Amino acid sequence: MDSMTTNDIQEIVENDRAHVWHHLIQHKPFETVDPRIIVEGKGNRVWDQKGKEHLDAVSGGVWTVNVGYGRV
């Protein structure tokens, strides 16, 4: 994330709002709160544009990673 500037992130957020349809989620909150943009990942952990770490653990159906996570 260090190589991304605040301007880069803001442009991504604006493009997300304008062009991305987030299925199975309410869009109303995105009118006042920025959508979460994942900027980095390692194993089953991901980091958003605010530096918050998340566990990539959504389960079931189309959400699963069919071939596993990348190996180092």
Rounded to an integer, what is the distance from CA 12 to the centroid of its chain? 11
d(CA 54, CA 45): 6
Tens digit of pLDDT for each residue in 15-68? Answer: 998 898 887 788 888 888 888 898 898 888 999 999 999 998 766 556 556 666
Residue reference for tokens 């987030």: 22
Rounded to an integer, what is the distance from CA 8 to the centroid of its chain? 15
Question: What are the extents of the domains in the chain?
Answer: 6-63
- Three-state DSSP at 48 gives strand
d(CA 30, CA 13): 10
The pTM (predicted TM-score) of the whole model is 0.65
